[in-house]
Amino acid sequence: MRISLNWLKKYVKIPVSNDELVRLIGARLVEVEEVIDETHKYDNIFIVKVEHAEKIPDTHLTLCKINVGNIEIPKVEKDADGLVQVMCGAPNVHECMMAAWIAPGAIVPASIHEDAPFVIGKRTMLKKYESNGMLAAADELDLGDDHEGIIEIEPDTAKPGMRFADVFELNDLILDIENKSLTHRPDTFGLIGFAREVAGILGKQFECENIGNDLSVDNSIEIEIKEENICERYTALVLKKHGEIKKKYFTWMDTILAKSGMRPVDPIVDATNYLMLLTGQPLHAFDYDKFIKVGKSDKPKIIVRLARKGEKLTLLDDKEVILNENDILITSNDVPVAMAGAMGGKSTMIDENTKNIILESATFSLYNLRKTQMAHGIFSEAITRFTKGQPPYQTMRVAEACAEMLKEGFKVSAVADAYPVPPKNNVVKITTYEINNLLGTKYNKDLIVKTLKNVNFEVDVDGDNLEVMAPEWRTDIYIKEDIIEEVGRLLGYDNIEPVLPLHLTAEKNPILEMKQKIREIMARFGANEVLTYSFVSGKLLEKVGQDSKNSYRIINSISPELQYVRQSIVPSLLDKTYVNEKLPVERFAIYEMNDVYRKDLGMTDENVPVEKFSLGLVVAERKNDETAFYKAKKYVAKLFEELNVEVEFLPISNKAKQVEEKPFEPKRSAEIFIGDEYIGIVGEFRNSVKAEFKLAPYVAGFEIDMEILFKHMSKDKKIKLGSKKKEDLTVTTDKSYAETLKQVQKQNPGAQITPGTIYQAEGQKSKNITFHITK
């Protein structure tokens, strides 16, 4: 939303500098995304009078002599009559008209934000006519889209030589407001509501100008609201045409529309748009005669209802939409003529032949409109306001104000108003103590009452008890905290002294400590912690042999790459292994500790999926023909050792059973147990997996359950004292390492035995296994 400071100043006196005002608005009302400085946008543009206009035959050009008043521009010569020569290509240029002259040396406003703004100069046209500057059209001034003709200014409002910017108050600052932070404040989406807040934060009483009047309802046309809660209020005026509205002169209202980011179109649309910007209440005009024709009725019968499945409507922009069942429709005797709040229909649109108008001023359910907005991708100024939940109190008044603006051509002939349940004004009882107690302030009662009254709350005071009644546009005030927020905000949160609460003591979180410890250990081991997405592709699950049906599937995923919630950590790491081998990184151990979810893990007592806290690691080298398994095993074994957990590595009897074991090759992997409890797997990956991920042969990894680890880990490191005797023992055997170790242990009771190398001579069946023995 764009707010013109000059316009704002018409509704509230601002005794502070612009910088301070912007700071206060930012601190107490809404985030100002940008302040657009237009204070020099219209420099060297002047009001002039066209004294002579002479058509040049066989061209579109007119040779003009203009009166520029006292203005002297360097190098611009005036003739004997004191007039300046300028060529003009617009068909509407004529003698005696007042126009806007962009003097030589001035920047054409429409180009001001371009990389190379266009500076107008002195030109020679058709090889012989000198032209000084230009007479401007609305689009060149960045005040409209019109390029058909130059703008014409009402003679009574300005004199030649006056600065264009002064006459139309164009030396301005425009505030670009972040709409999101006013989601709950529909009233501030009109300038008056915004101005009220500005008065409030400046500590001033807001004096509200009355926009429009309530008319007496004759209900001579019928309005029916079919469903409850889709339309809180629907007001309709019939305007009968009695004369022409001549849009001749460029007006101040045109500049307001332009500065607010809209464009002047025609008198009726401009009036509705202007009033929307001023009050926040959108309006819509139907062609009366088309409306009754479409509905095949002799009098308008307006029915507001939800769309039926498959119903279609051609909109103003010629697009045919298929409506959804939550779209609200305006119908003429049940025939759709507009998508309520979003866009009018083509069949009833006003045009230059329109005789009579039905002027709609209504409010609609923001919930429905929000869905309509999303489903049909309509982001107009009107629907932006409706989806904040415009209050219903002013529909009639704004419609009447619009009729008043159009009175030159139209007069009100019928007034109808469907307002089934007018909302009650909310009253909140609160004490000054409660306010100060939540904010941490010492505001006195008078200040609090004044602050609320400034923005038109009514306050009944009884001792320290306040009875606060919200104004009719504040549909967001229900509870004490709402009032406390108003007081805190309007007086400035920055005026509240930050104070620390009493000293507290925290409990440790042992799982977090375990994670920190693992991070220390793994970094020491030369491993790298990575983070990878929780979402993976169906393809990735397939590559490692995990069933995608066991994964929670994201229905609105960004891409197929991120469609499933991952079932274990290692597959994501295999993806990153490829990435790093490609870089290339020669050798690495990457690991991640994170939560995984799978359908087979079931639901918790809270009926949310059980989470599994998992640690996965992959070691990989681009060139190494040794057995990667033992590297991965070393990593996991030493980790357990550092955490004082004793584990056993057991060969996998047949097929891998656990979900996280799927990528692993059973013949080159071990299951890890703490006593009888399975905790995870360490191993190399299946050849097919390595092929799918395009990995170098030297790759292995592990995945373990961190919750089981946590259950068994102990902080106390066993320290053995005393003298130690070390010896090496080599056994020749064809049994496995574990079986051989058992024998050695039997022979050396109580000794600490660590593994040495394994040697097998070529052609020999038996191996020599070396053990380091410490007694």
- Binding to other proteins in span 169-188, by CB under 8 A: 180-184
Region from 134-142, 231-239, 453-461, 550-558 binding other proteins, contact rule CB under 8 A: 550-558
Q: With binding defined as CB under 8 A, does residue 711 bind other proteins? A: no
Residues 18-37 contacting other proteins, CB under 8 A: 26-31
Q: With binding defined as CB under 8 A, does residue 497 bind other proteins? A: yes
85, 567, 594, 614: which one binds other proteins (CB under 8 A): 594
Q: With binding defined as CB under 8 A, does residue 756 bind other proteins? A: yes
Region from 131-139, 147-155, 308-316, 554-562 binding other proteins, contact rule CB under 8 A: 554-562
Dmax over Cα atoms in the chain, in whole Å? Answer: 126
Residues 450-489 contacting other proteins, CB under 8 A: 479, 481-482, 484-485, 488-489
Closest distance of CB 583 from other proteins, Å: 6
Residues 672-701 contacting other proteins, CB under 8 A: 683, 686-688, 691
Task: Assess contact for 230 and 365: CB atoms under 8 A.
Answer: yes
82, 91, 261, 526: which one binds other proteins (CB under 8 A): 526
For the four alpha carbons of 633, 634, 639 and 642, in that order, the dihedral sign comes to: positive
Encoded one letter per residue, x for contact with other proteins by CB under 8 A and - for no contact, window 646-675 reads ---xxxx------------x-xxxx-----
Q: In degrees rounded to 5, what are phi and psi of residue 399?
A: -65, -40
Burial of residue 292 (number of CB atoms within 10 Å: 0-12, 13-18, 19+): buried
Region from 51-59, 111-119, 264-272, 630-638 binding other proteins, contact rule CB under 8 A: 630-638
Q: Which is nearer to other proteins, 219 or 229 (CB)?
A: 229
Q: With binding defined as CB under 8 A, does residue 556 bind other proteins? A: yes
Q: Nearest Cα to 86, choosing from 123, 117, 118, 119?
A: 123
Q: With binding defined as CB under 8 A, does residue 622 bind other proteins? A: no
Q: If you write DSSP's letter for every residue of 93-160 in order, what string do you get? A: --TT-EEEEE-TTPBPGGGTTSSSPPBP-EEEETTTEEEESEEPBTTTTTS-S--SSB--B-GGG--T
Closest distance of CB 531 from other proteins, Å: 5
Closest distance of CB 629 from other proteins, Å: 6
Q: With binding defined as CB under 8 A, does residue 757 bind other proteins? A: yes
Q: Which is nearer to other proteins, 28 or 259 (CB)?
A: 28
Q: Which is nearer to other proteins, 413 or 534 (CB)?
A: 534
153, 565, 643, 679: which one binds other proteins (CB under 8 A): 565
Closest distance of CB 576 from other proteins, Å: 3
504, 623, 719, 721: which one binds other proteins (CB under 8 A): 504
Q: Which is nearer to other proteins, 157 or 730 (CB)?
A: 730
Please provide the size of the chain in residues: 775
Closest distance of CB 504 from other proteins, Å: 3
Q: Nearest Cα to 703, choosing from 688, 685, 676?
A: 685
Rounded distance between C-alpha atoms, residue 761 and residue 730, angstroms: 14
Rounded distance between C-alpha atoms, residue 12 and residue 211, angstroms: 15
Rounded distance between C-alpha atoms, residue 182 and residue 28, angstroms: 12
Task: Assess contact for 363 and 386: CB atoms under 8 A.
Answer: yes
Is residue 220 classed as helix, strand or coil in its secondary structure? coil
Residues 373-412 contacting other proteins, CB under 8 A: 374, 387
91, 243, 420, 440: which one binds other proteins (CB under 8 A): 440
Rounded distance between C-alpha atoms, residue 270 and residue 143, angstroms: 13
The DSSP output letter for 392 is S
Q: With binding defined as CB under 8 A, does residue 370 bind other proteins? A: yes
Q: Which is nearer to other proteins, 21 or 64 (CB)?
A: 21
Closest distance of CB 335 from other proteins, Å: 29
Q: With binding defined as CB under 8 A, does residue 299 bind other proteins? A: no
Q: With binding defined as CB under 8 A, does residue 438 bind other proteins? A: yes
Q: With binding defined as CB under 8 A, does residue 517 bind other proteins? A: no
Q: With binding defined as CB under 8 A, does residue 227 bind other proteins? A: no
Task: Assess contact for 177 and 384: CB atoms under 8 A.
Answer: no
213, 557, 752, 774: which one binds other proteins (CB under 8 A): 557
Residues 31-90 contacting other proteins, CB under 8 A: 31
Burial 429-449 (b: 16+ CB within 10 A, else e): ebebebbbeebebebebeebb
Q: In which residue are the tokens 């088309």 written?
A: 290
Q: With binding defined as CB under 8 A, does residue 205 bind other proteins? A: no
Task: Assess contact for 644 and 674: CB atoms under 8 A.
Answer: no
Q: If you write DSSP's letter for every residue of 248-296 in order, what string do you get? A: -SB-HHHHHHHHTT-----HHHHHHHHHHHHHS--EEEEEHHHHHHHHT
